[in-house]
Structure 1
Amino acid sequence: MIAIIDYGAGNIKSLQFALDKLGKPSKLTMDPEEIKQADSIILPGVGAFKDAMEALQRYQLDSLLKDEAANGKPILGICLGMQLFYEFSEENGGCAGLGLLTGSVNRISDSVKVPHMGWNILTANQDNSLFDQLGKEPYVYFVHSYAVDRLAEDTLIASAEYGGRVPAIVQDKNITGMQFHPEKSGEIGITLLKNYEELIS
Structure 2
Amino acid sequence: MLALVDYGAGNLASVERALARLGAATRRVAAPEQLEGAQGIVLPGVGHFATMMRALAAGGLQEPIRRAVANGVPLLGICLGLQTLYAGSEEAPQWPGLSVFAGTVRSLPRTVKLPHMGWNQIQRVRPSRLLRGIDDTTWFYFAHSYAALDDAPQVCAVCEHGARFAAVIEQGHVMAVQFHPEKSGAAGLQVLQNFLEAIR
Secondary structure of 1:192's counterpart equals helix
How far apart are residue 6 of structure 1 and its match?
A: 0.4
Alignment partners' CA distance in 2, 1:59 and 1:17: 24
Alignment partners' CA distance in 2, 1:162 and 1:61: 32
Alignment partners' CA distance in 2, 1:150 and 1:134: 23
The letter of the residue matching 1:16 is E
The letter of the residue matching 2:134 is L
Secondary structure of 1:193's counterpart equals helix
Q: How does 1:31-180 map to 2 (within 5 A)?
A: 31-150=31-150, 153-180=152-179
Q: Provide the aligned C-alpha RMSD in A.
A: 1.3
Secondary structure of 2:150's counterpart equals strand
Secondary structure of 1:150's counterpart equals coil
Choose between structure 1 and 2: higher helix proportion.
1
The letter of the residue matching 1:119 is W
The letter of the residue matching 2:171 is D
How far apart are residue 95 of structure 1 and its match?
A: 2.6
Secondary structure of 2:166's counterpart equals strand
Alignment partners' CA distance in 2, 1:99 and 1:92: 14
Alignment partners' CA distance in 2, 1:116 and 1:94: 24
Number of the residue aligned with 1:190: 189
Number of the residue aligned with 2:22: 22
Paired-residue identity, %:
40
Secondary structure of 1:190's counterpart equals helix
- Tell me if structure 1 keeps the 8 A contact 2:32–2:59: no
How far apart are residue 41 of structure 1 and its match?
A: 0.4
How many matched pairs? 200
| Regions of 4+ moved over 6 Å | none
Name structure 1 gaps, 5 residues minimum. none
How far apart are residue 129 of structure 1 and its match?
A: 2.8
TM, length-normalised to structure 2: 0.95
Number of the residue aligned with 1:10: 10
The letter of the residue matching 2:128 is N
The letter of the residue matching 1:49 is F
